Structure 1
Amino acid sequence: MQTLIARSLKYTNNELSVLDQYLLPHQEVWHACDSVAQMQSLILSLKVRGAPLIGLAATLLVAYLAEQGQSKAQLAQAIDDLESTRPTAVNLMHCMAKMRIALAQDDHLGALVSTAEHLFNEDVSLCDQMATLGAELVNPGDNILTHCNTGALATAGIGTALGVIYKAHQQQKHIHVWVDETRPLLQGGRLTAYELAQWEVPYTLICDNMAASLMMSGQVDKIFVGADRIAANGDFANKVGTYNLAVLAKHHQIPFYVVAPETTLDRACPNGQAIPIEQRDPQEVTGVSGSFGVCQWAPRRAKVYNPAFDVTPACLVTGWVLNSGVYSQQDLVGDVFK
């Protein structure tokens, strides 16, 4: 397999490595990964995260295992096991479906390797296309609010929603970004703030529950978020807390955009109610942990509800920024996602 290098995923010298996003921003630690069980653990513990990146990490591992001489039966099992690791992000399913097709070829080794390389390089291109299209929606001086982390850490390219922001910054539009901390795992506070600081994009970190007052005071011009799965009717699942922002944006008449590649579109899923929502470990809510240590603040037997994602209805979305174009509410009438 050719050398493939992204911000948090790389294949070099016959070794697959991932950046431990759980330890960011204070430590940059890379883990070599050579087994399905290890990749599943890295994904479940959010050391590997971001819908596009999860799919690509699993894909490169399957290609790596093929190069190590695993049998077709072993590779088929690896694909099945990796696909079941997280249920909401459809990119993982999309990538594993492509690898199944490759596995069925006579030259399955060559097909798996070329498919993995194609999917990786395709994601870089998709990110660039989304960023270019989305940046056209940004006006000079805009205050943009975003949620979770959707940058280069979560993709092979420059990102989805955060890629749009980065592109607008490159175009010298003098933007400012409000960064939701994104509880309970603080992907905004730990990862988005980290990326924006590296890119020298002006930003301000806020608690999630501060967004409403900012909107009311006229300090938010646009909202850009990512997606883990978009249903055929335009409903979409994203990091929990996204729905809150969409409702608030509708009330305050603030444009609300979803940025995702077409690989995140699930045409077989009719609507948001059909999207499976992952339930996470209660300990993520009863306390916090990371490179800074562990803190438990809730009673140890506290009952916890901890969905990783929520679903935002299409009626609350101003536009869907895909790699193929920017789609409005009117485009849904033409079944653009079906």
Structure 2
Amino acid sequence: MKTIEWIGDVDGHLRLLDQTKLPTETTFLDCETPEDVYGAIKRLSVRGAPAIGVSAAYGIIVGLRDVIQTDRATFDQQFNKVCTYLADSRPTAVNLFWAIDRMQKLAQAESQLDPAAMRKRLLEEARTIDDEDREMCDAIGRFGAELIPQGAGVLTHCNTGALATAGMGTAFSVLYSAHKQGKNIHVYADETRPLLQGARLTAWELLQHGIPGTLICDSMAAWVMKEGKIQAVVTGADRIAANGDSANKIGTYSAAVLAKAHNIPFYIAAPSSTFDLSLATGEEIPIEQRDSAEITHGYGKQTAPLEIDTYNPAFDVTPAEYIAGLITERGVIQPVTTEEIAKVIAD
């Protein structure tokens, strides 16, 4: 089952697994327009920084269907309009902007192509981004598995598996690789309030791949650590600043603080495309604010008084000093400093 799939040739469309319906329903969305792709990203039908980037690249292709018979100037105008539109869907996930920027640079470099040829070339690039994401997941898994002790209990937060990428995932790929190596790990997935990505998605993926796991409430993490059940914490990231400060799903910072208090290594697994070296520290990372209904109406049922104020940031930022290592497709960055990150990522 593919989370992201391009159906057909250059006149085809993007098919996405609707993650808002999991684990009770398996439903696919056929995205024929940029509005379809934007909506899928915005409402979290597709989520996870790498998956958002791949989806946006394909979303550009569907947005160019009506301008292939025009001149190149008209094509470029529509191309830039679609890129700007899709870039507005989620402000924190840097892979979104990375993929769009890559497509824009290609269009600039191939300015001699007519609209039909340019659209075909852009589809080739989107497919390359898709393929590279799968290879990235495999490499992250190999490097990260080396950090996981035999028989370890591993806490993870949110969802970082095949549902969040085009491949086997980022942090989840580490868990999958360690499991395949026979390390006899046991994964503790916290539910990840308010949208329950850990409960709905990570727990589902653990069962799909036969990885031993236990679902816990977010508030149980400290006690599970104190009981000695956790030997490592591995999460993903949506944007990483030049100094290693890392934005990820709200609650990640809490897990990092708890891990440090219990002398447990906390790792972040993310591709090089998630690093934003234009930002010196995490203080510059924009944090998406989401609708209050996600807190007050959990999956259709009112769970809080309507009159109460809510605060619903989608992400928090974990300072670099809490991170034992950044697991990338190029290797593990340790210690997590501006200098070490630059050595691995700057090119």
Given the two structures, how large is their TM-score scaled by the length of structure 1?
0.94
Contact 1:103–1:109 at 8 Å: present in 2 too? no
**What secondary structure is seen at the aligned counterpart in 2 of 1:238?**
strand
- Residue 93 (structure 1) aligned with residue 97 (structure 2): yes
Q: Which residue of 2 is the match for residue 8 of structure 1?
A: 3
Contact 2:155–2:234 at 8 Å: present in 1 too? yes
d(CA) in 2 for partners of 1:332, 1:233:
4
Q: Which residue of 1 is the match for residue 18 of structure 2?
A: 20
Q: Which residue of 2 is the match for residue 74 of structure 1?
A: 78
Contact 1:76–1:103 at 8 Å: present in 2 too? no
**What secondary structure is seen at the aligned counterpart in 1 of 2:222?**
helix
Shift of 1:218: 1.1
**What secondary structure is seen at the aligned counterpart in 1 of 2:21?**
coil
Cα displacement string for residues 261-320 of structure 1 (whole angstroms, at most 9, x for unaligned residues): 00000011111000000000000011211xxxx110111121000000000000000000
Shift of 1:117: 1.3
User: Matched residue pairs, number?
Assistant: 329
Q: Which residue of 2 is the match for residue 53 of structure 1?
A: 51
d(CA) in 1 for partners of 2:209, 2:78:
42
d(CA) in 1 for partners of 2:54, 2:82:
14
Q: Which residue of 2 is the match for residue 3 of structure 1?
A: none
Shift of 1:68: 5.4
Q: Which residue of 2 is the match for residue 324 of structure 1?
A: 330
d(CA) in 1 for partners of 2:179, 2:335:
27
Q: Specify which of 292, 311, 318 is matched with residue 317 of structure 2.
A: 311
Contact 1:161–1:259 at 8 Å: present in 2 too? yes
d(CA) in 2 for partners of 1:328, 1:179:
25
Contact 1:125–1:157 at 8 Å: present in 2 too? yes
Does 72-81 or 57-66 show the bigger shift? 57-66
Q: What amino acid does structure 1 have at the position aligned with 2:165?
A: T
Residue 82 to residue 324, structure 1, CA distance change in 2 (3 Å): same
Residue 204 to residue 330, structure 1, CA distance change in 2 (3 Å): closer
Q: Specify which of 37, 40, 43 is matched with residue 39 of structure 1.
A: 37
Shift of 1:39: 1.3
Shift of 1:64: 3.5
d(CA) in 2 for partners of 1:12, 1:38:
15
Alignment of 1:150-169 (within 5 A): 150-169=160-179
**What secondary structure is seen at the aligned counterpart in 2 of 1:301?**
coil
Given the two structures, how large is their TM-score scaled by the length of structure 2?
0.92
Q: What amino acid does structure 1 have at the position aligned with 2:201?
A: L
Shift of 1:16: 1.4
Q: What amino acid does structure 1 have at the position aligned with 2:307?
A: R
Shift of 1:332: 4.0
Give the CA RMSD over aligned residues: 1.4
- Percent identity at matched positions? 44
d(CA) in 1 for partners of 2:54, 2:66:
18
Contact 2:242–2:338 at 8 Å: present in 1 too? no
Structure 2: segments with no counterpart, 5+ residues: 69-74
Cα displacement string for residues 28-78 of structure 1 (whole angstroms, at most 9, x for unaligned residues): 100110111121111111111111111111101212333554522112100
**What secondary structure is seen at the aligned counterpart in 2 of 1:233?**
coil
Residue 266 to residue 259, structure 1, CA distance change in 2 (3 Å): same
Q: Which residue of 2 is the match for residue 299 of structure 1?
A: 305
- Residue 141 (structure 1) aligned with residue 151 (structure 2): yes
Q: Which runs of 4+ in 1 moved over 6 A?
A: none
**What secondary structure is seen at the aligned counterpart in 2 of 1:220?**
coil
Shift of 1:331: 5.3
Q: Specify which of 54, 62, 65 is matched with residue 63 of structure 2.
A: 65
- Residue 210 (structure 1) aligned with residue 214 (structure 2): no
Structure 1: segments with no counterpart, 5+ residues: 1-5
Does 66-75 or 126-135 show the bigger shift? 66-75
Q: What amino acid does structure 2 have at the position aligned with 1:165?
A: L
